[in-house]
Amino acid sequence: MASRTQRRIITVFGASGFVGRHLVRRLAKDGWTIRAACRDVEKAHFLRTMSDVGQVTPWGCDIADANSVRVALDGAEAAVNLVGILYESGNATFQKIHADCAKQIAETAASLGIRHFVQMSALGADKNSDSEYARTKAMGEDAVKAALPSASIVRPSVVFGPEDSFFNTFAGICRISPFLPVFGAPTFPDVSFGGGKPFAINFLGDGGPKFQPVYVGDVADAIVKCLSDSTCAGKTYELAGPSVYSCADIMRLVLNATSRKRALLPAPLWILEIKAFFLEKLPKPLLTTDQVKLLQKDNVAGGSLPGLSELGISATPAEAILPTYLRRYRTPLAQTRAVG
């Protein structure tokens, strides 16, 4: 822990979110004094308990307001922008949050002399993507690099951990449904002959799009490393876990961790697109047409950019973490057996 007389101040935008709470804990252990910038200060007070008294300050900030951003950054030595959205709502559009606000935060940081800056983007960020989410993430990267060439960019794959909205969602579905969906499965099953059997039917194809989930603790450690190691300046890192899973594999991971048996149901993308058209009208949609576009490409590291290993971090396997927080979705009998 750094000395109390060394006031290294860092502003973390989006500190109360999923990745933010884990990052705040890591930064506090590293001795930083943290301004936890977020929209709702009341909901961020839990961050105070992750550090010594006074080390973390929930800080109200509207990232769309230039003066509010400047006040949050003034006097800070470093900054991290974690803010992102999975769907658009009202004035909170992908363009505004991922590109325009990222640009404003980086330009303000640069004007205040801040050089230690980390922008959290996403694996698959691409200006040529069919997905608005992926396009604006790439635009945000470019805006940050233009304003602050020394900034580090991190592109995590699907992030998992106790509060995630990925594995928890499917584990929750296990409780109420006899099926789990396999996104991107073929419309018609594959029928093959031979192998000593009359024929075999494969309803899931190759299992749908591929994912490389990364543990939230590893993402937090990567960001801390980028802030503390000058050799990371100006670089972009792809943060991905040690294993690649198809969508069908993801569902099997959920079933194993929850000790439940459910049938895997093919969910072709064209069917998902029809459902998403209606679901995205909800205040908090479970699926949007833009997310279906993201599913058309695998969410895995390309290999051309450095990753966790180059940051000295050993990627944590999903199998080691999922049972620790998905066990609450097990049936009472399965929980009793696990304890026994």
The pLDDT assigned to 2 comes to 44
Structural domain span for residue 197: 167-209+245-297+326-330
Same-domain status, 36 and 129: yes
Same-domain status, 15 and 128: yes
Q: What is the pLDDT of residues 63-83, one digit of tens each?
A: 999 999 999 999 999 999 999
Here the tokens at position 312 are: 């000295």
Does 339 have pLDDT greater than 50? no
68 belongs to a structural domain: yes
The pLDDT assigned to 162 comes to 96
Please state the rounded mean pLDDT for residues 233-237.
98
Residue 63 belongs to domain with CATH number:
3.40.50.720
The pLDDT assigned to 200 comes to 77
CA nearest 27: which of 43, 14, 9? 9
Same-domain status, 171 and 276: yes
DSSP, collapsed to helix, strand or coil, labels residue 256 as helix
User: In sequence order, what are the beta bridge partners of 192?
Assistant: 200
The pLDDT assigned to 43 comes to 86
Same-domain status, 15 and 127: yes
> CA of 288: how far to CAs of 129, 265, 277, 291, in Å?
16, 19, 7, 5
Same-domain status, 137 and 51: yes
The pLDDT assigned to 51 comes to 74
198 belongs to a structural domain: yes
Here the tokens at position 156 are: 């995590």
> CA of 334: how far to CAs of 58, 177, 260, 323, in Å?
40, 18, 8, 12
321 belongs to a structural domain: no
Please state the rounded mean pLDDT for residues 39-47.
89
Confidence of residue 197 (pLDDT cuts 50, 70, 90): low
Q: What is the pLDDT of residues 263-286, one digit of tens each?
A: 999 999 999 999 999 999 999 999
Half-sphere exposure of 262 (CA within 13 A, CB side): 30
Confidence of residue 334 (pLDDT cuts 50, 70, 90): low
Same-domain status, 60 and 112: yes
